[in-house]
A and B are shown apart, each in its own frame.
Chain A
Amino acid sequence: MFEEPSHKESILLHLDPRIKRVVVFSFSIVVAILNRIPVLLCALIFALLFVLTAKVSIKELIKRLTPVNMLVGFLWLFLPFTFPGKPLFYLGSLSVTYEGVLYATKISIKSNAIMLMMIVLVATTSIFTLGHSMHALRIPQKIVHLFFFTYRYIHVMKREYVRLVNSMKIRGFKAKTNLHTYKTFAYMIGMILVRSFDRAQRVHNAMLCRGFKGNLYSLKTFSIKKRDMVSLVLVIVIIIVLGVLEWKKTI
């Protein structure tokens, strides 16, 4: 359930994770601010090029784009009708406004462009490497450590959860809309919490035995090579061009 996408051999796989993080972050912010459809389309094409370079499979892409497009789809049900503007056509007594359709289109392009970049990031970097790069980017140490521990133990907790669900199923539990179901789920959550609490105590003691003083040391060192710099400059230039296109209203 928590699988990361497969990391296929590509140029992006070997780039410095710090660079990737910075690039994706700045791209997301700029695209979130952009407001004109031609520029947004440019950004979408740019993101698609990245997806092609990262060799993400279509199946994976569709699977990961669905959650975003669900909210976008939900907004499409409303925005064309509620956005003030001149009516495009009528659906019964409701008028679909030109501006509303435009606005909803903008949101769809924006969401998908940013998400594509994010998928590229996840598809070319393991989550642990991302954590280490957070550390290198001076994000507070406590947050980075919390991130590591949470990610490390999600899988363990998931196993506990699966064990509990298995034992519930063996005893013939069926989820329905009634108090018994909710109580059972609540007890299960309580049990997961209790087990995690006990495990936390054990892990902490074991760590103390091994001399834990509140620091985690990374064996990974990052080095910025020539190709990292080149790609960083290239992408930053493209992002600036997007910004200028938006600002100067050239297209």
Chain B
Amino acid sequence: MLKNNSRSIKNIKPRRCGHHEDTLFWWFFFAKTGQNKEANSIMHISEGVLSPVVLIGGAVAAAAGVAAGLKNLEQNDIPTLGILSAAFFVATLIHVPVGPVSAHLVLNGMVGLILGWKAFPVILIGTALQALLFQYGGITTLGVNTFNMAFPAVICYFLFGWGITPNSRRTVVIITAFCSGFFAVMITGLLVGLSLYLTGEAFLPAAKLIVVAHFPVMLIEGILVVACVLFLKKLRPELLESAYAKR
């Protein structure tokens, strides 16, 4: 009988059952921290790195996005949205093997497809909780990190959201779902790189490497979003009616 305490949870993490051992090169990007946690923390810029101007810019942009997301949010919908965002939070903690290492999912494309503008408040809460629980990111970088994740989600919703309805053709669904998963991560990577670059020119090589290192994650996210959307289309098409995004 498996008990639900933290020790047994640790033992059944998916990455522990794979055969992927780290090579030295990847070590630096997805460095192992202790036994059970492996952080793709380049998605979350930590405290003290960015310049004040970038931090303020990110905070203002994120605040505008959150305001837009909250505008159409009924007080009554909050329990539902909270539970959905908890599900997304847990889903982003899943480790997926990428060749020799494993990476965290970002899933902001998926969040965007289902929630539209409401991705902003949901991702804000997600980043805040990640800062509080795991110390990824932080207080001053909350704005930048939220914007970096949520803005691509909203872009993908507007660019590709039309293709993902219960009635659309299978090929259309596959293409648009793949694009939203792929481009959401790509734009996030670009924004992370851009925020570093705007802080100082010296960050340019690091920023470039971050974008390049995201490439496998982009492909995997694309595939995952396609499979996930097709699954939802079969099982629970009403989730794809973007009821939450439009309301």
Q: Which residues of A contact B (CB under 8 A)?
A: 1-4, 24-25, 28-29, 31-33, 63-68, 70-75, 77-79, 81-84, 100, 103, 107-115, 118-119, 122, 127, 130, 140-143, 145-154, 156-162, 165-166, 169, 173-177, 179, 181-183, 185-197, 199-201, 203-204, 207, 212-215
B86 — which chain A residues lie within 8 A by C-beta?
149-154, 156-157, 196
| A1 contact set on B, CB distance < 8 A | 6, 9, 36, 93
Give complex CA distance A203, B78 in Å.
Answer: 11
Given contacts A79-B202, A207-B79, 16 further A-B contacts (CB under 8 A): A68-B135, A70-B31, A72-B46, A72-B49, A74-B29, A78-B206, A114-B139, A142-B121, A143-B125, A146-B82, A149-B81, A153-B87, A157-B87, A161-B91, A188-B94, A193-B232
14 examples of A-B residue contacts, CB within 8 angstroms: A1-B36, A32-B52, A64-B135, A66-B33, A68-B46, A75-B203, A113-B48, A142-B121, A149-B79, A153-B86, A158-B9, A162-B4, A193-B91, A212-B76
B140 pairs with A78, CB closer than 8 A: no
- Cβ of B128 within 8 Å of any chain A Cβ, yes or no, is yes
Q: Report A157 CB to chain B, min CB distance, Å.
A: 4
Return chain B residues, CB-CB under 8 Å to A199: 83
Which A residues touch B225, using CB under 8 A?
186
- Which residues of chain B have C-beta atoms less than 8 A from A33's C-beta? 52
Complex contact A204–B79 (CB within 8 A):
yes
Given contacts A24-B139, A199-B83, are A32 and B232 in contact (CB under 8 A)? no
Chain B 70-88 interface mask (CB, 8 Å, partner A; 1/0): 1001111011111111111
Residues of A within 8 A of B158 (CB): none
Does B78 contact A193, Cβ atoms closer than 8 Å?
Answer: no
Classify the secondary structure of B's interface with A.
helix
Bound-state CA distance A189–B93 (Å) is 11
CB distance from B49 to the nearest CB of A (A): 5
B89 touches A154 (CB 8 A): yes
By size class, the interface of chain B is 35 or more
> In whole Å, how far is B86's beta carbon from the nearest beta carbon of chain A?
4
Interface residue from A77, A159, A187, A196 paired with B4 (Cβ < 8 Å) = A159
B42 contacts the other chain (CB 8 A): yes
How would residues 88 to 120 of chain B score, 1 for a CB under 8 Å from any chain A CB and 0 otherwise?
A: 111101111111001001010010001000000
Complex interface: chain A residues within 8 A of B33 (CB):
63, 66-67, 70
Is B64 positioned at the interface, with any CB of A under 8 Å from its CB? Answer: no
Query: Which of chain B's residues have a CB closer than 8 A to the CB of A24?
Result: 139
Q: How far is the CB of B106 from chain A (nearest CB, A)?
A: 12
Q: Which residue of B lies closest to A202 (CB)?
A: B83
On chain B, the residues within 8 Å of A160 by CB distance are 90
Q: Is the CB of B202 within 8 A of A82?
A: yes
